[in-house]
Structure 1
Amino acid sequence: MTIVSTATAAPERAGRPVASVYRAVWRWHFYAGLITLPFLILLAVTGGLYLFKAEIDGLIHRDVKQVEARMTGERPPSEIVTQAVKAFPGQAVKYTPPESATASAEVTIRDAGGTRMVVYVDPYDARVLGQIPDKGTVMWVIRQIHSLAYFGPVANGAIEIAGGWAILLVLTGLYLWWPRKQSGGVVTVRGKPRQRVFWRDLHAVTGLVAGGFILFLAITGMPWSVLWGNKVNQWANGHNFGYPAGVRVALPMSDEHLAHVAPTTWSLEQAKLPVSQVAGGEPIGLDAAVAAFDRLGLTRGYAVNLPGGPGGVYTGSVYPKDMALQRVIHLDQYSGKPLIDMSYADYGPLGKALEWGINVHMGQEFGLANQLVLLAACLAIVLLCVSALVMWWKRRPQGSLGVPPLPAEKATLRGVVALLAIGGLAFPLVGLSLIVMVAVDGILVRKMQPIGA
C-alpha cells in the first residue's frame, strides 16, 4: 500500500498480458502493505523520536545528566564510584567520565540480584544526583520499542519480517507508479481530499519521494534483526575473534564477547575480549586506567568497563557521531599496557560500509541535516500509511477485505510470487512469511469477492 498507480486503466489499454502483470503486482503490493503498515507507523514514529536521542534525553533527564560547570577539578573516578556504590550497593561494572564540563559522571552498578542501575554523580564534588535503571532512560525505552526487543525475540522477528516486506513494498510500488502514458498523479496531486484520486495521487507522489529513503532505512536496519542480522554478523565477524585483520595480536583470548560487557558497534559484537596477564602484581585501579585512556587520546564520551575478574581487562570504548573517532582499547588491569587498540580505520571494507549505513540510519553521520532529512522521511512514511488506509477505505466493498482482483492470466501471479521469493531467499523470515501468505491467498482470499480496478 505504498505507491499505487494513478491510472489503473492504463495497463488495460496496453493489452491483456501487461494488465495481468499489473494486477498481480498490485495484489502482492497490497499484501506487503497489509503486513507492514502497522510496523511502518511504529518504526517511523519511534525512529523519528530516536533521531534526537541526545536532545530529548538531555531535556527529560537534565536533573541527573547536567551539572553546573565549575573551576574546581573533577574528583577522582574511584571516589565517584565509591559514592555511587553507597547510594546503590552492589558491584560497579562500568564508569563513564563526564563528556563535557556540564555533564555528570555515570556509574553502572549490578546488585546481588543482577539488577543494573546507573547512578549519576556530580564530578566536581562526588555528590550523587540520582539513579535510573540501566537502559531505562526515555530514549532507551523508545529504542527497545522501535525494534520490538522490548517484547522479546519473537516480536523482534516480526520487525525483521516487516523490514524485508518493506523492501518488496517499495519495489512493487515503483512498478505500479511507473508512468503509462498518463500525466496526472506522476509528480502532481489531482482532485480534493474528499475524492479517492486525491489520496491515490498523494500516495503515489509521496511514495516516489520517500521510496528511496524507505529502502535505505530497511536495508541499513537489517543488521539489528534477530535472525538475519545475527547470522550475517557471525559470518562477517566470526574469524580472528571478530577483530579486523591486522589488528588482533598474539594474546590469550577469553570466551567473553565485547557485546556482552559494553555497548559496541555492530561489526564488533562477536569480538572476544583479551585476558590480563596475572603476574603477581597489583591491579592499577580505575584512576590509573582512566588516566591511561585520556593519555592514549580516547575521545571524551567514552565508557570504561571494569574488569570482571582476575583475568579481566579495562575496556574503554567510544562511538561518537564522527565515525573516524570510534575506538575500543583494552588495557591489562595489572600493567596498564594496551592489549588491543582499534578504531574505525581498522575495519575492513564491509565493516566500514555497514557501520556507515548504521550511523546514517541513526541520524548521526551528517549532523542536524541528517536528523532533519530522516525526520522528513519518517513523516512521509506516516503519510504513506494514512493515505493507503484512506484510499483502501474509499474503494473497499462493504463486507470485503478489498483485495485487488486476480489477474486474467494466472501465470503472471505465479511469476510475481517467484520474483518475491528471491527476497525470501535473502531474508529467511520473509521467505517463511511469503509461504504463509501464498497459502492464505490460495485458501481464503480467492474466495472473497474481487473488486474492480
Structure 2
Amino acid sequence: MSNKAQDLYRAVWRWHFYAGLIVIPFLISLAVTGALYLFHDSIDRWWHADLMTVEAREVATVEASAQRDAALAAVDGEAFRYVPPASATQAAEVDVTRPDGSRVAVFVDPYDGEVTGQMPYRGTVMWLVRSLHSLSYFGTTASMVIEIVGGWAILLVLTGLYLWWPRGRRGGVVTVRGRPGKRVFWRDLHAVTGLFVGGIILFLAVTGMPWSTVWGSKVNELANGHNFGYPDGVRVNVPMSEARLAEREATSWSLEQAQLPISDVEGAGAAAIGLDRAVATFDGLGLAPGYAVSLPGGPEGVYTGSVYPDDLSRQRVVHLDQYSGEALLDMNYADYGPLGRGLEWGINVHLGQQYGLANQLILALACAGIVLLCVSSAVMWWKRRPTGRLGVPPAPADTRPLRGVLALLAIGGVLFPLVGASLIVMATVDALVRRRAAGRSAVA
C-alpha cells in the first residue's frame, strides 16, 4: 500500500473508530428493542392474554355502546376511543380519560359485555419497548439522540465498507480466519458480518430518520404542511379544526400533523348518530379489521375510524360528521403523494410489517447481526488496545486525506443538522487528540 493510500486508510479507520465509539451502546439497545418490537402484536397478546383474549362463541356480540357503558361503569371518566375486536378471540378496548386527566385502557368481552380488566393507556409491555427503542421514554431531548445515532450509523457502514474492501486480499473478505483466541478471528468476523448486515443497517438508519425530532419533523412539515397536515394527493375541501389526529390516536408518520374536520352543528337538525351507527358505518365502508374509533371531542368533533395494518394498501382514515354520519374525509395509502408513499413504505418495512413473517425474520436476523458486530468490535479493540490508553487508530502522516474525509462528512452534516453539530464536536476532539499526540512525540 502506498503512503497516500495508507494515509487515506488511516483517516477512514480513525473516523470509523469514532463512529463506533459513539453509537455501539445505542446500536445494541436499538437492535434488541427493535427485534422485540417486530413481534409486538404476538408478544402483547401473550403477555396480556388475561385482558386481551376471550373465548370465541357462536353468539352475537353486544352493541359497541353497551361495551363502552360497561367500561365506564368500571372506570369513572369519559370514553375517547373504542377499538372493536379484530378477531373472534380478542376483547374490545375502550379508552377512558379519568377526571384527574389520566387515561386508562379497559378491555371488554364483546360477547357478554363483561370487563376483563384494565391497564394504563398505552401501558402494554410492547409500548414500553417502543418507547425505549425511540428513547422517548427519557423525554424529548433524549429522543434527539436517535437522529445523531442514525447519522453516525450511516457513517459507520460507509467507512466500514471502505475498510472491508479486499484490495487483493482473499482471507477475511467472506470467510473468517483463525480461532476465537486470535484478534484476526474477531477482525474477520466483524468484517464479514458487516458485509452481510451493513446494507440493512443503512436501510434502518435512513427509514428511522422520519421519526427523528429535528430532521423528521421538518421533512414532515415539508411533505404535509400546506394541506392541513395531510399528504399531497389528499383532497381537503371541508372546514377543519385546529385539533390534531395524533392527539387522539397513534397514527402513521404521514398523518402526524393532520388536522381534524368539523361536524356541522348548525345543519345537524337531529341528534348525534351515536357509537353504534358510527361503527356500522365504518364496517359498511370496509375498514380493515383492527381499526380504532376515536370519539367526538365536543359538539364540533367527529368520529374517526383509522387503521394502519401490515398491508399498506389497506391503510385508511375516515372522518364522519357526528350528526349526519356523512364521510367528511376518506383517505387511504393510494391517496398519498410520491414522497408520502415512499416514506410510508420504508417505515412499514422498518417495522417488519410489509412482507409478513419473512420481513420480521430477516430484520430479526439483522438485529442479531448488529449485536454480533458490536460485540466483535469491542473484543477486537480490547485485543489491540495499548495498555492504559484508548487505542485511537493512528492519524495519517499527511493530514490532507483526513481533511478530505471531513469534507465528505460535512455533506451529511448539512443534511442532518444534529449529526453535523456532533461532527463538529468530534472533529474538535480529534484535533485536540492529534495535538496532544504530537506534543508527546516532540517531548520524546
TM-score, normalising length from structure 1? 0.95
Distance 1:91 1:36 in 2: 44
User: Any residues of structure 2 matched to 1:55-74 within 5 Å, and which?
Assistant: 55-74=42-61
Question: Retained in 2: the 8 A contact 1:40–1:382?
Answer: yes
Determine which of 250, 269, 274 is the counterpart of 1:285: 274
Q: Say which is worse superposed, 435-444 or 72-81, in terms of deviation.
A: 435-444
Match of 2:83 in 1: 96
Does residue 24 in structure 1 map to residue 17 in structure 2?
no
Q: Which residue of the partner structure matches residue 52 of structure 1? A: 39
Match of 2:70 among 69, 83, 97: 83
How many Å apart are 1:256 and its aligned residue? Answer: 1.1
Please name the residue that 2:198 is paired with. 211
Residue 96 of structure 2: aligned partner: 109
1:407 aligns with 2:396: yes
The answer to whether the 8 A contact 1:217-1:361 is kept is: yes
> Partners in 2 of 1:74 and 1:354 — Cα distance?
38
State the secondary structure of the residue aligned to 1:83: helix
How big is the shift at 1:261? 1.4
Change (3 A) 1:17 1:246: closer
**2:94·2:107 contact (CA, 8 Å) conserved in 1?**
yes
Contact 1:64 1:130 in 2 (8 A): yes
* Partner of residue 43, structure 1: 30
In 2 relative to 1, CA 249–231 (structure 1 residues): closer, same or farther, beyond 3 Å? Answer: closer
Determine the structure 2 residue equivalent to 1:11.
Answer: none
Other structure's SS at 2:85 match:
coil
Of the structure 1 ranges 196-205 and 154-163, higher mean CA displacement relative to structure 2 is found in 154-163
Q: CA RMSD in A?
A: 1.3
Matching residue of 1:9: none
Post-superposition shift, 1:446? 4.6
Deviations 1:26-46 (A, max 9, x none): 000000000100000000000
- Alpha-carbon separation, structure 1, partners of 2:34 and 2:374: 15
TM-superposed CA distance for 1:248, in Å, is 2.3
Of the three residues 333, 341, 346, the one matched with 1:344 is: 333
Counterpart AA for 2:259:
K
How far apart are residue 87 of structure 1 and its match? 1.1
Q: How does 1:239-318 map to 2 (within 5 A)?
A: 239-278=226-265, 279=267, 280-318=269-307
Q: Secondary structure of the residue that 2:243 maps to in structure 1?
A: strand
Matched residue, 2:223: 236
Are residues 1:420 and 2:409 paired?
yes
Whole-Å separation in 2 of the counterparts to 1:246 and 1:375 = 34
What letter matches 1:410 in structure 2? T
Q: Distance in 1 between matches of 2:48 and 2:161?
A: 43
- The code of the aligned residue for 1:262 comes to E
CA separation in 1, counterparts of 2:215 and 2:140? 13
Secondary structure of 1:255 counterpart: strand
Contact 1:324 1:343 in 2 (8 A): yes
Q: Give the Cα separation in 1 of the matches to 2:428 and 2:231.
A: 44
Q: Tell me the distance in 2 between the aligned counterparts of 1:244 and 1:41.
A: 34
**1:403–1:445 CA contact under 8 A, matched in 2:** no
Cα separation, 1, equivalents of 2:264 and 2:174: 66
Moved over 6 A (4+): none
Any conservation in 2 of the 1:191–1:198 contact (CA below 8 Å)?
yes
Look up the SS of the partner of 1:107 in the other structure.
strand
The amino acid across from 2:320 in the alignment is L
- CA change 1:174–1:200 in 2 (3 A) is same
Structure 2 SS opposite 1:241:
coil
The answer as to whether partners of 2:84 and 2:93 remain within 8 angstroms in 1 is yes
Q: Deviations over 1:64-113 (max 9, x none)?
A: 11100111111111111111011111110000000011110000101122
Q: What secondary structure is seen at the aligned counterpart in 2 of 1:315?
A: strand
Distance between the aligned counterparts of 1:164 and 1:53, measured in 2?
26
Structure 1 residue 443 and structure 2 residue 422: aligned? no
Report what 1:166 is aligned to. Answer: 153
Equivalent AA in structure 2 for residue 199 of structure 1: W
User: Hey, what's the Cα distance between the residues in 1 that align with 2:53 and 2:341?
Assistant: 33
Q: Distance in 1 between matches of 2:406 and 2:125?
A: 42
Q: Which runs of 5+ in 1 are unaligned?
A: 1-13
2:31, 2:103 → 1: CA distance? Answer: 30
Would you say 1:375 and 2:364 are equivalent positions? yes
Matched, 1:433 2:422: yes
- The farther-off stretch of 259-268 and 188-197 is 259-268
Amino acid at match of 2:412: G
> Once structures 1 and 2 are overlaid, which stretch shifts more, 238-247 or 294-303?
238-247
Which residue does the alignment assign to 1:125?
112
How many Å separate the matches in 1 of 2:434 and 2:129? 36
Write the distance in 1 (CA, Å) between the matches of 2:227 and 2:348: 25
Q: Is the 8 A contact 1:117 1:131 kept in 2?
A: yes
| 1:355 maps onto 2:331 in alignment | no
Counterpart secondary structure, 1:19: helix
Would the aligned equivalents of 1:46 and 1:145 in 2 still touch at CA under 8 Å? yes
Cα offset for 1:249?
3.6
- Look up the match of 1:179: 166
300, 313, 323: which one aligns with 2:312: 323
8 Å Cα contact 2:316-2:332 kept in structure 1:
yes
Q: What's the CA shift for 1:263?
A: 1.8
One of 150, 167, 178 as aligned partner of 2:137: 150
- The amino acid across from 1:74 in the alignment is T
Identical aligned residues as a percent: 65
Shift of 1:23: 0.2
